[in-house]
Amino acid sequence: MRVLVVEDARSLAEVLVEGLRDQGMAVDSALDGLEAAAKLDANAYDVVVLDRDLPGVHGDTLCQMITSHDDRVMVLMLTAAGAPGDRVSGLGLGADDYLTKPFHFPELVLRVQALARRRPSARARTLRAAGIELDPLRRTVVRDGRQVELSVKEFGVLEALLRAGPAFLSAEDLLEQVWDENADPFTNTVTVTIGRLRRKLGDPPVITTTPGVGYRIALVSPA
């Protein structure tokens, strides 16, 4: 899941980014509406956590820009304005959820996860292929009845491959979906993560590699 945090208070933005990354999400941030608009044009996001009172481009305007696109990104409006009328007006702009400051961070995480599941392009909760069952909500992986413990990035790579299957994902695709804008495109982190993931999933191997094309989950486990 890739999330954009749009918050002009730098300290709060940093807390939100680090906290959501700890939950296994790929998170970018923007400190004003103009920066957010540029990142929305450049990247595909599942959820935007959007402060309402933004410099540059106001959060209300940005919300309307986001929700007017066909490929809908879910919007969680985050604001200090908590009166019933403010909530109604925010939802009326197209926001999918509304959370007032101050808030409990675990609640924000649950709301972001719920919005990602509600996104029109979201798929079934449990992903299955080649003897693997991955539950994004419970963050569990089972291979042929055996529980598999994965790191945050290993889980993200496996989820991306299962969602894409049977299509290939390149290393660049995986960097974009599982990491964030700070990832070095020349790093070997994808190769290293794939190697660890293969070892943890065990035999027979199910992640295939085609040089120059990318990685995918085999439709049928090799004999």
Q: Residue 132 has which token pair?
A: 């693997």
Enter the DSSP assignment of 169: B
Taking the C-alpha atoms of residue 36 and residue 191, their distance in angstroms, rounded to an integer, is: 30
Q: What is the pLDDT of residues 96-128, one digit of tens each?
A: 999 988 899 999 999 998 898 887 765 557 888
Note whether 33 and 61 are within 8 A (CB).
Answer: yes
Supply the pLDDT for residue 141. Answer: 94
Supply the pLDDT for residue 78. Answer: 87
Residue 222: pLDDT over 70: no
Q: What is the pLDDT of residues 186-219, one digit of tens each?
A: 678 899 999 999 999 998 889 999 988 899 988 6
**Per the omega criterion (within 30 degrees of 0), is the bond before 211 cis?**
no
Q: Domain 127-217 has what CATH class?
A: mainly alpha
Q: What is the pLDDT of residues 35-69, one digit of tens each?
A: 999 999 888 888 999 998 898 889 889 998 888 77
Opening angle at CA 116, ends 111 and 117, nearest 5: 100
Residue 223: pLDDT over 50: no
Residue for token digits 């961070």? Answer: 105
Determine if the pTM surpasses 0.75. no
> Comparing 2-118 with 127-217, is the CATH topology the same?
no
Higher pLDDT, 17 or 117: 17
Where do the structural domains in the chain lie, given as residue ranges? 2-118, 127-217
Q: What is the pLDDT of residues 143-193, one digit of tens each?
A: 999 999 999 889 989 998 998 878 889 988 888 888 877 667 667 889 999
Nearest to 161 by CA among 202, 190, 189, 185: 190
- Domain 2-118 CATH (choose: 3.30.310.50, 3.40.50.2300, 3.30.420.40, 3.40.640.10): 3.40.50.2300
For 68-118, where are the E strands, in sequence order?
74-79, 97-100
Supply the pLDDT for residue 41. Answer: 87
60-81 average pLDDT score:
84
Residue 220: pLDDT over 80: no
CA 161 to chain centre: 14
